[in-house]
Structure 1
Amino acid sequence: MPSILVGVCAASLAITLTACGSDSDTASPATTTSPTMSEVFMPSLTDTAPPQASPCPSAPPDGGGTPEWTLTGATGSIAVTGPTETTAPLVDVQAPFSVTETQVHTLQAGDGPVVADTATVLVCYQGVNGRDGSVFDSSYQTGAPVDFPLDGVITGFQKAIAGQNVGSTVAVAMSPADGYPQGQPAAGIQPGDSLIFAIKILDAAS
């Protein structure tokens, strides 16, 4: 499997368990702005592959498609349309959307090997906040996949991917407890927010 990123520290803040380092280690008095999500990780693939070759297409989805998953939550609802070879996924939120238990749905089944609980996976993903329907993180926006070990990400992300087949596209509506119970200010996530991810599993290695 190609090595797109080295270690969890380079992975997106939206899915990793903890930030790497601390403000006191890296910040200087002259530094007053926080990096954007895309600045936190810029996989090397973006330097070598043309946009049309990207496995995470950034084109918006076609408007007339039928959602592959609809879910009514404790509040609100979602309709998820998975990505295609040329378009990004679409997560339509009737906000505020929330769930009390994490739910996973396979949008498109792959035929690759089953992903182990502790595998390192290569994925394209989009994260949406159920509170307001905003996209807070997306490898489809950068056009490049991200790799990370499943035992180094938030619980809801691990629940969505472990046990799936490589090549599958899955969606997960995760409870606050499986996401960020205390919030994640860098991604605009507040305590109590339910999160929705659409994930394409490109590869996995034990």
Structure 2
Amino acid sequence: MAAVNFSRVSSPVALAACAAALTMSLAACGSDKENAASATSSSAAELVSTETPAAASACPTAAPASGGTPEWTLAGTTGNVAVTGSTDTTAPLVTVDGPFSVTETQVQTLKPGDGPVVADTATVLVCYMGVNGRDGSVFDSSYDRGAPVDFPLTGVVPGFQKAIAGQNVGSTVAVAMTSADGYPEGQPRAGIQPGDSLVFAIKILDATS
């Protein structure tokens, strides 16, 4: 079993890229037919918008305590996954017994928030970590960088939108998404191959219409 958190980015390309800047785009949906400008993007995963993260908020960078009870366990079509959401002081923990895959995207509220409901067209501010179900590697994490990012839900991959829309601000959620709801053609720079199921642990900090 592979226990992974914000600190375990298996790809040195992803590490360098994510540390450089937040110029990812969840709308990039994994096509290799990107132009030269997008090829210079500083993020391997191309997950988050180019908007500047809010300086007033932060994503906890401390490793979570081990040995606790996961808040969500899911048996996939193959493999299984266990997720514990972030706290005010620690990053989330995702444990993958892989290769993990799902044939239907599934969303789980780990800790409900008490803020307003997030509209499916909202712009959200989140902390998040993305894990590849095939090998358990972290391919991108705002927890690793210690800063949240904001982006419109209308510009993200379908699985990420399904995870956040309809939740309350302040909620911690997890999603296990099919390749079709993530990167059906893969995202080589993030180590994502066609057919890979992805797991995200997300903290919703804010949302605006």
Q: TM-score range by the shorter chain?
A: 0.7 to 0.9
Partner of 2:185: 182
- Following superposition, the deviation at residue 71 of structure 1 comes to 0.2
Partner SS, residue 79 of structure 1: strand
- Pick closer, same or farther for the CA change 1:25–1:128 going to 2, 3 Å: closer
Q: Structure 1 152/89 Cα, relative in aligned 2: closer, same or farther at 3 Å? A: same
CA distance in 1, matches of 2:43, 2:116: 34
Aligned structure 1 segments of 4 or more residues deviating by more than 2 angstroms: 10-13, 15-19, 21-27, 33-45
Residues 191, 120 of structure 1: alpha-carbon distance in 2 compared, 3 angstrom cutoff: same
1:12 corresponds to which residue? 24
Structure with the larger RCO, 1 or 2 (CA within 8 Å, 6+ apart)? 2
Q: 1:114 to 1:185 in 2, by over 3 A?
A: same
| Residue matched to 1:105 | 108
Give 1:37 shift: 4.1
Judging changes above 3 Å, is the alpha-carbon distance between structure 1 residues 37 and 58 closer, same or farther for their aligned structure 2 residues? farther
Deviation at 1:26, TM superposition (A): 7.0
**Equivalent position to 1:24, from 36, 42, 52:** 36
- Unaligned stretches of 5+ residues in structure 1: 1-9, 28-32
Q: Normalised by the size of structure 2, how large is the TM-score?
A: 0.80
Q: In the alignment, what sits opposite 2:135?
A: 132
Aligned-partner SS, 1:176? coil
SS across alignment from 2:28: coil
Give me the whole-angstrom Cα distance separating, in 2, the residues matched to 1:70 and 1:26. 36
Per the alignment, residue 161 of structure 2 pairs with: 158
Alignment deviations for residues 80-131 of structure 1 (CA, whole Å, 9 cap, x no partner): 0000111000000001000000000000000000000000000000000000
Alignment partner of 2:163: what SS? Answer: helix
Q: What are structure 2's unaligned runs of at least 5 residues?
A: 1-21
Compute the displacement of 1:56 (Å): 0.5
In the other structure, the counterpart of 1:59 is 62
Residues 148 and 11 of structure 1, relative CA distance in 2, 3 Å threshold: farther
2:146 maps to 143
Shift of 1:17: 3.2
CA contact (8 A) 2:27 2:156 kept: yes
CA 1:38 to 1:44, structure 2 compared with 1: closer, same or farther past 3 Å? Answer: farther
Indicate how the Cα distance of structure 1 residues 38 and 24 shifts in structure 2: closer, same or farther if over 3 A, else same.
closer
Deviation at 1:42, TM superposition (A): 9.1
Aligned mates of 2:42, 2:72 — CA distance in 1: 33
CA contact (8 A) 1:55 1:85 kept: no
Shift of 1:187: 1.1
Alpha-carbon shift at residue 25 of structure 1 (Å): 4.3
Q: Which residue of 1 aligns with 2:200?
A: 197
Shift of the 16–96 alpha-carbon distance from structure 1 to 2, 3 Å rule, reads: same
- Which residue in 1 is equivalent to 2:174? 171
Mapped to 2, the partners of 1:25 and 1:35 lie a distance apart of: 11
Between the aligned partners of 1:24 and 1:129, the Cα distance in structure 2 is 26
Q: Once the 2 structures are TM-superposed, how far is the Cα of residue 194 of structure 1 from its aligned partner?
A: 0.1
Query: How far apart are residue 186 of structure 1 and its match?
Result: 1.8
TM-score by length of 1: 0.81
Deviations 1:64-93 (A, max 9, x none): 211000000000000000001110000000
